[in-house]
Amino acid sequence: TQLLEQSPQFLSIQEGENLTVYCNSSSVFSSLQWYRQEPGEGPVLLVTVVTGGEVKKLKRLTFQFGDARKDSSLHITAAQPGDTGLYLCAGGRGQNFVFGPGTRLSVLP
Amino acid sequence: DSGVTQTPKHLITATGQRVTLRCSPRSGDLSVYWYQQSLDQGLQFLIQYYNGEERAKGNILERFSAQQFPDLHSELNLSSLELGDSALYFCASSVAPSTGGVSYEQYFGPGTRLTVT
């Protein structure tokens, strides 16, 4: 059983569309991070959210941490082919992070 | 470029062999983490070191071991290799280990792709 669930598992959309991916858990996390990973590369940190209800914006990406600090969402506006990749969420728990299985996004030109 | 370096980038070896993967953390980071990523298991935490001492263990097999040296670089040793050990192995570093309610950001290296034949 995964401590962190991510949905959808796969998402294929056209350039210019909007999308939201989700990261859910039954556990409370001290913080939550979002990463993007491209094939053959290491995950690259996008954002860290630490406060329940917190919203952070990074250009076309909007991240939200749930009020109860158990879930998070990532919304991308006007997706571009460069957004293609595996999006991973990771919850801070004690001394470490627990990673979700990821959402694999493909943005077609 | 995250500032974390890993060598080698690719490694092909036979079952039963032993290999060593190397990681140099970002300048100033004292904590190092090792992860294994395979297609069916996702990113799995293996072990964490802080300033030379083991801090936390995850899903690390007894055939695997690691250490962090005084210069803060780390090595992951994998022995008696099996086909199922084929995966990407990532090292990440952070300025300090996360404790209690404080989580420090991790920066990942480019990984070592291990193929066991």
Confidence of residue B111 (pLDDT cuts 50, 70, 90): very high
Mean per-residue pLDDT over chain B, rounded = 92
Q: Within a 10 A sphere around the Cβ of B85, how many other Cβ atoms?
A: 21
With beta carbons less than 8 A apart as the criterion, state whether A58 and B115 touch: no
Q: Which of A41, A44, A88 sits opposite B43 (nearest CB)?
A: A88
Band of residue B110 on the pLDDT scale cut at 50, 70, 90? very high
The A residues from 54 to 83 touching B (CB cutoff 8 Å) are none
Judged against a pLDDT cut of 90, whether residue B103 lies above it is answered with no
In chain A, % of residues over pLDDT 70: 95
| Percent share of chain B, pLDDT over 70 | 95
Q: Is the pLDDT of residue A3 over 90?
A: no
Strand partners, A65: A72
A61/A76 Cα distance (integer angstroms)? 5
**Looking at residues B38-65, what average pLDDT do you find?**
89
Per-residue pLDDT, averaged over B3-22, amounts to: 97
In the predicted model, what is the mean pLDDT of residues B85-102? 83
- How crowded is residue B30: how many other Cβ atoms within 10 Å of its Cβ? 17
Whether residue A31 lies within 8 A of chain B, CB to CB, comes out as yes
B90 touches chain A (CB under 8 A): yes
Residues 10-29 of chain B with CB under 8 A from chain A are none
Question: Which chain B residues are Cβ-neighbours of A50 within 8 angstroms?
Answer: 103
Strands (E) in B10-86, as ranges, are 10-13, 19-24, 31-38, 42-50, 53-57, 64-68, 74-78
Report the pLDDT value the prediction gives residue B106, as an integer from 0 to 100.
Answer: 86
The nearest CA of chain B is from the CA of A45 a distance in Å of 7
Q: Which residues contact A37 (CB under 8 A, 6 or more apart)?
A: A43, A44, A85, A86, A87, A88, A102
pLDDT the model gives residue A87: 97
On the CB side of B104, CA atoms within 13 Å amount to 17
Residue range A18-32: average pLDDT?
Answer: 92
Please tell me the distance in Å from B16's CA to the nearest CA on chain A: 25
* Amino acid at site B55: R
Mean pLDDT across A32-50: 90
Chain segment A76-108, per-residue pLDDT in tens: 999 999 999 999 999 877 667 788 999 999 999
Indicate if the pLDDT at residue A31 is higher than 90.
no
Answer yes or no: is pLDDT of A1 > 60.
Answer: no
Average pLDDT over residues B33-48: 88
**A40 inside 8 A of chain B by CB:** yes
